[in-house]
Every structure is written in C-alpha cells, then in structure tokens.
C-alpha cells in the first residue's frame, strides 16, 4: 500500500504497510538515515523527528498516523547545519560517538521553539533522550547557547 508523506517539505510516496513505524519509512523508504534506530520502544530518543513541530519518537508512530502531518528530520532542520542548535552543539563539543545526536538536536530544537529561553529545570525535563556517553552537561550548555542565554552557569 502506498502512503503520501510530507517529509522536509517534500511529498514522498512510501510503499509499505500502514502499521510500519515511521522510522523505517524515513530510513528505508525515503533514504533519510540521519534518524537513528536505538531501542525501538521510544525510550532512547535516537529516532526523534518533528511532527507538526513537536518532537516525536518515530519508532512509536506508524506511517498511517503520519499521513497528513508535516514531518521534519535532522536533514530538514537546516540544509547547511546552520540551525542555532546545530551550531551550539559544535561549539560546546557535545557529540562523542554521535549516534544519538540527531535525536537530541531535534528534541532541543523543538524545546527552543516552544520555550525560547528555557530554565535549567525545563531543559532537564525536556531532554529525556539517552546518551551512553553521558554528555548531558554539554547538552544543557549547548541549549543555553542556542537560546542566546550563554552557556555560563549551567549546572
């Protein structure tokens, strides 16, 4: 069965069962491999994308549920990596292995869209993505930097 999805502002036709996770439609159907498979149960956040502007874990959304929405992946966040969160991520040297980073960046970008100058507590509450390398202090500093608040004093 074919499904028409709006991914990064383009219409993409995906030929798969409607109950297929959106993650696999993005990776296998659309060739957008920046969205990562982590746990498959929505716990780690490696597969986070934006659906209608909200951060959503794509392993827990079916293709059928995504029809009629606007999906943004890490590839669509900024064509040249100039999004403030991406720039701050590099400035604060957040990535280590990098595997979870696209999901974290997508979660952080959605947070800043909704809360342009989040507090430390708001950052901690929003950033539920998991990172095996433990770069959480750098993540918080990068979010503060991207919000224009600077990275000083972040706990």
Range(s) of the domain holding residue 131: 84-147
- One domain for residues 88 and 39: no
> Which pTM value belongs to this model?
0.92
pLDDT surpasses 60 at 154: no
DSSP symbols for 39-64:
-SSSSS-TTEEEETTEEEEGGGSBHH
The token pair that represents 138 in the structure block: 């750098």
The end-to-end CA distance of the chain, in Å, is: 49
Tens digit of pLDDT for each residue in 31-88? 999 999 999 999 999 999 999 999 999 999 999 999 999 999 999 999 898 999 999 9
Please tell me the total count of domains within the chain.
2
Closest CA to 59 of 31, 76, 34, 35: 35
Q: For the domain that residue 61 is a member of, what is the CATH number? A: 3.10.20.30
Tens digit of pLDDT for each residue in 99-139? 889 999 999 999 999 999 999 999 999 999 887 767 788 88
Q: Given CA atoms 53, 31, 76, 42 in this order, what sign does their dihedral have?
A: positive
Q: For the domain that residue 119 is a member of, what is the CATH number? A: 1.10.150.120
Residue for token pair 């993505």:
129
Give the model's pLDDT for residue 153: 53
């Amino acid at each position: 069965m074919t499904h028409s999805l709006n991914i990064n502002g383009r219409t993409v036709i995906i030929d798969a069962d409607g109950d297929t996770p959106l993650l696999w439609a993005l990776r296998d159907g659309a060739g957008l491999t920046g969205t990562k498979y982590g746990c498959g149960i929505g716990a780690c956040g490696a597969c986070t994308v934006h659906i209608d502007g909200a951060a959503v874990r794509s392993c827990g959304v079916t293709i059928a549920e995504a029809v009629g929405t606007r999906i943004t992946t890490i590839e669509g966040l900024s064509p040249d990596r100039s999004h403030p969160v991406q720039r701050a991520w590099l400035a604060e040297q957040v990535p280590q292995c990098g595997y979870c980073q696209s999901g974290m960046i997508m979660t952080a970008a959605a947070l800043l869209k909704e809360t342009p100058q989040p507090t430390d507590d708001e950052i901690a509450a929003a950033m539920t993505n998991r990172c095996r390398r433990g770069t959480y202090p750098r993540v918080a500093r990068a979010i503060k930097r991207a919000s224009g608040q600077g990275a000083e004093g972040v706990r």
